[in-house]
Structure formats: C-alpha cells, structure tokens
Amino acid sequence: MRTIKLLLILAIFVFSFNSSMSQEVNIISINSRTSLSLNGSWKYVVDPYETGYYDYRREARDQRANPSKSEALFLGYKAQSPSERVEYDFDKSENIMVPGDWNSQIEKLFYYEGSVWYYKKFDYDLSTEANRQFLHIGAANYEADVYVNGTKLGKHIGGFTAFNYEISHLLKPTGNFVIVKVDNTRGLEKVPTINTDWWNYGGLTRDVKIVDVPATFVQDYYIQLAKNDPKTIDVSLELNGANKANQSIIIEIPKAGIKVRFITDENGKLIGQIPARNLQLWSPENPHLYEVKITHQKHEVLDRIGFRTLDTQGSDILVNGKSVFLRGISIHEENGIKGGRAHSLEDAKLLLGWAKELGCNFVRLAHYPHNENMIRVAEEMGLMVWSEVPVYWTIQWENEETYQNAEKQLIDMIFRDKNRASVIIWSMANETPVSTERTEFLSNMINTTRSIDSIRLISAALERHTQEGTKNTQIIADPLQELVDVISFNEYIGWYAGLPESCNDAVFDIQFNKPVFISEFGGGALYGYHGDKGTLWTEEFQEELYIQSTLMLEKIPQLRGMTPWILSDFRSPRRLLPEIQDGWNRKGVLSEKGDKKKAFYILQQYYDSKKLEYLNK
C-alpha cells in the first residue's frame, strides 16, 4: 500500500509533506519561549455555507489574485464609505473566548458542526528587529485555515496537535489581525472518521500565542536516558536559522553537575551523549524533575526533565529495572464541571487529581493527544501516561491521504512529548477491526514510531472475542500482538457481553509472553440512581460489575495493568436514553461533576491491594 521511509537519526523530527497538510516544522517547548498571548476575547462569524471562503461557483477565494473584499472574510476588510458593499463586519460580530470550544460557550452552537471564522486584533512590539516571530496554535478542531493581515499562512488538519507559522515578515507595530477559519465537519476520510463516541467540540481549543525567538534558535531537542542505561543521556538538537552550522551549544543540568558543550554540524544538528552518574531517577513514587538549560549564544531554553529507564521483560513492564503494575484510568479531555473541552492547568490538576485520589499511577489519555498541561502535570504528579492518536474504530485504511494524516498526527504527538518521562506508551489505535489493509496501515504506524522513538513502548487498544466452540474462552485474534510491546485490549464482559456473572467463568487464552494490559472495561451508571445489583444503570450494578471484573482479570497471569472506562462521565451524541444518559456516556466512576459512584471505591480498594502487592515484591 505504501513504503514508509524510516528515519535513522535519533529523535530529530523533521518531516515535510507535499499535501494540503503541509506546514512549517513545529517548535518544541513553546512555554519556555518569550511570547505574546492571544488568548481571551475574539470575534466570530458562523459560516455554515462557507460563503467567506468559496464563491458561488465553489472556487476558493484565497486562491485568487484579487479576492473580493466584500465577501472574502479572511481579508478582515472594513467598508471605507457608506456606499461600499461589504457583507460582513467582524467588529460588530459577537465575542467568543479562546481557548475554548464554541459548543459549550454558545448555546445556539451546541450541536453545530461546520465553519466558524475567528478574528483577533493585536499590536506587536518590534523593537528587537533581529528576532523572528511565529504564530503558534495549540489545537484547532478540525481543519484550520490561518491568515495574518490578510495573508494566508497555511492549512492545518487534525484537531489535537499543535502547529505554527512564521509571521516575521507580516507583522507591524499596530493594527495587526489574525483570522482563523475552523471547520469541525466530520468526514469518512478523516482521522478520527465520521463515527466516534465523544463530543465533536469545535474551535480554537488550546492556547494561541505569538512566539518570539532569535534569528537562529533552538527549534528542537531530545534529552533522555539511553535505552536501559541510567548512566548515559542521549542528546539530539536542531537549530533553525541562517547561521546554524558550527554553532556552540551548551547543555546544563546544574543539580546533576552536568555542563557539556557541543558543536552543530553543517545542517545545524547535533547528536551526542552525556555521561551521567548518580541521577535521581523519575518514578511514580518519586517524580523527580531536573532543570535543564540549553544555551545558544545568549539565548536560553529552560525545561524540567525527568530521567527513567523503561523496558519489558517477558510479561513484566520495567521502570528503572523494577516491575510495575499500571493502576490506571482512562480520561477524556473534558471538564464536566464547567462544561466543554479541558485545556487549562487547572483542568489538568482537577482531572489528574481525581486519578491520584483513585490510587492511580497511570492514565490513559484517550482517544487523541491531550493538551500539554495534562502531560506536564501528570509528570509532576508521578502519573505514567498512555498517549494515543485518534485512529478510532473504522478508518479508511486504503486511503493514502488518510494514512498521511494519521502518521502526521502521530509524529506531532511524539515531537511535543518525547522529553516527558511520564509518557511510557504510544498507542496506535482503538478498537479497529482486523483486515489486511488495516494491519498494514497500523504496522507502518508502528514502524514510523520505532524509527523516531526507540525508548518508549508501543501498544494499541485491540478487541477481544469469544472463541468459537467454547462457552466463555476469550481470545485476541489480532496479528498486531506480534508487533506491539504490550498486548492491550478492551473487554466489556458483563456490559456489552452478558451480565456481571458472565465474568465468573470467563477464561482468557493469550498466546504471547508479553505484558497484558486491559485498556477498557466497565459499564454505565447514573450517579444517585440506586437499586439492586441486577438493575441496569444503578450504582449497585456498576459496583458489582467492577467487583466481578477485577476478580476475573486477576486470573490472567500476564496482567500488568488496566485503565477502566472511564474517570468521569462525558458528553456523547451517541448516548440517547432519556433520564439516564441525556447525551452523556455514563461509564464514569465519577459523575461529570466529580461525584463518586460506588464503583469508585471498589477500584480504589483494588488499587490499594495492587500497590501493596508490588511494594512487597
């Protein structure tokens, strides 16, 4: 179907695509750079027919040499006289907050899927003329056409990954404006595809800022322990700019007594190693982070980085050489208390704080790359992370553009978080039906991942099946088992397959000596709805299901962790039952407001027992 060109340079993430998704290569560690936030109040125009983008013959206005000022919204034009016809006016339009989704902010847009134009005026201090400026957008769901001062910068595709464009040549001291057309229309060829089980929040859902960097700057770096070697730090780095060859780079880790000088090659890159002794290793029990300083000329980039080793041995997952049990929970990027897509530091602390209270040392961030606050806070809290791309259910496996889209999202996910000790598993997909085309698609994704990150583990949430001719023998009939490091699968015995007593005689036949991880199990319950344990949707039913499920899963000898579905109830248009679901998936062990259901305490007790078991090993 395709040939994947493997990248042989450790952790140098430079990719180009000759498709509509092409964009400038991302800048790492945005929060450590000098920047101007564009968060706050923006103007917006809802455009379901995309009148501001296409003319009446369906030709793109931004492809014309002289687009109509009266109708091309990306120009941000104002009528110059009462007799001039201009069929839009951003200044008179309504306000919307960025970051945020339009569904939860604007009642009339709750179910809206389509195009919305965002508009923001700003001034910019250009006193440091030698510097360069980039417009950085943390995420826009799903397609974003981006313009500054009427000039198109590009189109980005994918709702959960960051992107940036250089705007140095466009900025002026006053009167600048940025316009972004965001379109969250679902499509069969997209990633995710048209059918999901979460809310399709549209908009500029993460931070928007202008990043200011020197003319030649550190664009990318990788600083992590070598595989299974706590005494060696692998380093790679790339400069961006005209004067990037033969440049001095100093990497310091002051509290580890490390200060090393490197010289970039003719392409502005370096690859090397740093001897490291007596490093305090990052672990869930001791999430130690070192301040790391990277200096090029007078410019510094600061980061806080943890160091740990990671491997598998037979059916064990080893962190710093010690077997761990992943006491986890799945999480959607949603804050039900305030409503809408989660994005802030406070959101991350809330969601991950609930996970810590549950007794977790691991979280599955489903089903797409979450915002950077989630990854950073998880690292600070000592929570290991499963990070996933939205290759979900049934993708167009034979569509080359669909594959390129999925691979680009995968690469961008790894690019941003490759220095995070918390991230231990890259997940390729969730519940994808087995076929030759699908397996080739995901195999190529795995090959790409291994070529750019040889340290972390690879998995995918597979499906379980009852073996024909048996009463209740469960198998995973998926060739991906041979390719992944951790065999993960979703099982809903007792919910989608029988009732909780079905767990009693279930037997799992797993043919591989690899760690086994249960990526999903559980069932729905409405908080505050009580009855006997045989009544669906009651807290008692969910409680019994968790009791029986954990007893059942304990019989799997290779079991090394789980992330039940899910931490808290979340919105989903698929969930239609009145008075119970009302547009919410009710499988959370917490309500959307954080109220604890009875199953929360069952899982908490189980995790307490697993913690003691592994402490005593």
Token look-up 């996970």 returns 355
Strands 457-463, 473-475: pairing is unpaired
> What stretches in the chain show pLDDT beneath 50?
1-22
Separation of alpha carbons 350 and 124, rounded Å: 34
Separation of alpha carbons 65 and 352, rounded Å: 50
Residues 6 or more apart in contact with residue 600 via CB below 8 angstroms: 358, 589, 590
Beta bridge partners of 252: 259, 293
Give buried/exposed letters for 86-110 (b at 16+ CB in 10 A, else e): eebebeeeeebebbbbbbbbbeebe
Tokens coding 36:
């101007």
CB distance 54 to 60 below 8 Å: yes
Within 13 Å of residue 192, how many CA atoms lie on the same side as its CB?
A: 24
Rounded to whole angstroms, what are the CA distances from 176 to 38, 119, 167, 362, 538? 12, 11, 11, 44, 55
Q: What is the pLDDT of residue 377?
A: 98
Separation of alpha carbons 612 and 490, rounded Å: 26
Let me know how many helices (H) and strands (E) the chain has, helices first.
7, 35
Q: What is the pLDDT of residue 476?
A: 95
Q: What is the pLDDT of residue 275?
A: 95
Q: What is the pLDDT of residue 10?
A: 37
Angle between helices 598-615 and 539-553 (to 10 degrees): 20
Residues 6 or more apart in contact with residue 225 via CB below 8 angstroms: 232, 233, 234, 276, 279, 307, 308, 309, 455
CB distance 365 to 385 below 8 Å: yes
Beta bridge partners of 386: 364, 425
- Dihedral sign from CA coordinates of 493, 498, 504, 506: negative
